[in-house]
Structure 1
Amino acid sequence: MAAIPPLCDFGWKAVDAVLPGTDGKDHSLLAQAGEKGLVVAFICNHCPYVKAVIQRIVRDARDLRQLGVGFVAVNANDAAAYPSDSFENMQVFARENDFPFPYLHDVDQSVARLYGAVCTPDFFGFNGAGELQYRGRLDASRKETAAPGTRRDLYEAMIEVARTGQGPREQIASVGCSIKWRELS
């Protein structure tokens, strides 16, 4: 069933954490920020919404880097219940899709909980001061191939954030598979 996150809580400050990456190194979330901002994306390997847009995520991350906006992706899904989201499969997914950004494993799901992540993909766009300015969709395509000329919502919003420090006031929520939470004991 599709999940829809809440819209942007403007000004909410980015939270740092250090998580293991598919490259075998530990990475700080905030160390991925560029001079003009940071996108923290919650994704996973198996979600059909993510699979449908992963090449556009990679494209936008590369394009945003040129504007001084960093990018990092986090997988918080319960890999015990969803083996396709295991760390080993994350490594394969990152390699197959030529990720130009760290892909991090939130093993205990603490980062996803701190951020209030709801679905995959779920995008958090911060300005250079680490203040949330965008919590919306990548584009209008959902699980389909994007039609030519489809507006790049995340990219366009982060251009505005890079230029002005402020995100657009009208944003359309992302839609995706719910985060696969571990049973709390």
Structure 2
Amino acid sequence: MAVTPPVCDFGWKAPDFTLPATDGRTVSLADISGPKGTLVMFICNHCPYVLAVLDRIIRDAAELQELGVGVVAISSNDVAAYPQDSFENMALLASDRELPFPYLYDADQSIARGYDAACTPDFFGFNSDLELQYRGRLDGSTRAAGADELRRDLFEAMKLVAATGIGPAEQIASMGCSIKWKDA
């Protein structure tokens, strides 16, 4: 089922985290924060919305890192219900796709809850003070990748944040599969 997260709550501070990464490290928010901003993405292995645009996520992340934006991806799905999102499968995806950012596992889902993540993909773009400036879509793609010439909403927004510390006033929410929450 497709889910759309809420609009950007400008100035909201990024919650801290320390999570295991697929490369064997333990990574915190401070480890990945960039001098010009930070992008925290909630993704997973099985979501067709993520898989449709993963190449674009990788491209944009690499280009944003060149601009001084730190980038991280977090998977928070219930792996008992969705074994393709297991830590082992995350490590395979990270290696196979040569992800240019740490891919972290939120086993107890506390970080997704702290961020109020709603879907995969869900993008949180922060300025250098870790204040939220963007919570929108990657581009106009949906369950399938859109045309190559689509406006790169996430990239353009984070480029603006890197240059000015302020995100665009107009943002279009991301859309994707709901986070797969564990039963209470």
Q: TM-score, normalised by structure 1?
A: 0.98
Is the CA contact (8 Å cut-off) linking 2:18 and 2:27 kept in structure 1? Answer: yes
- The residue that corresponds to 2:33 in the other structure is 33
SS at match of 1:93: helix
* Superposition deviation, residue 14 in structure 1: 0.7
What is the aligned residue count?
184
Separation in 2 of the partners of 1:42 and 1:183?
19
2:47–2:120 CA contact under 8 A, matched in 1: yes
**Could you tell me which residue of structure 1 aligns to residue 172 of structure 2?**
172
Deviates more, 1:7-16 or 1:145-154: 145-154
Corresponding residue for 1:150?
A: 150
Q: Structure 1 residue 143: deviation in Å?
A: 2.1
The residue type paired with residue 80 of structure 2 is A
Q: Give how far 1:19 is off.
A: 0.2
Secondary structure of the 1:142 match is: coil
List alignment gaps of at least 5 residues for structure 1.
Answer: none
Q: CA deviation at 1:148?
A: 2.8
Match of 2:131 in 1: 131
Give 1:32 deviation, angstroms: 0.4
* 1:97-116 to 2 correspondences below 5 Å: 97-116=97-116
1:16 positional shift: 1.0
Instruction: Show the counterpart of 2:85.
Output: 85
Which secondary structure does the structure 2 equivalent of 1:157 belong to? helix
Cα distance between partner residues in 2 of 1:156 and 1:53: 16
Give 1:122's aligned residue: 122
How much has 1:33 moved relative to structure 2? 1.2
- Is the 8 Å Cα contact of residues 48 and 144 (structure 2) preserved in structure 1? no
Partner residue in 2 for 1:51:
51
Residue range with higher mean Cα deviation, 110-119 or 87-96: 87-96
Q: Report the equivalent of 1:64.
A: 64
Q: Structure 2-normalised TM-score?
A: 0.98
Letter in 2 for 1:59: R
Determine the structure 1 residue equivalent to 2:19. 19
Gapped regions of structure 2 (runs ≥ 5): none
Counterpart residue number, 1:76: 76
Question: Which secondary structure state, in structure 2, belongs to the residue aligned with residue 154 of structure 1?
Answer: helix
Secondary structure at the aligned position of 2:38 is classed as strand
Deviates more, 1:120-129 or 1:88-97: 88-97
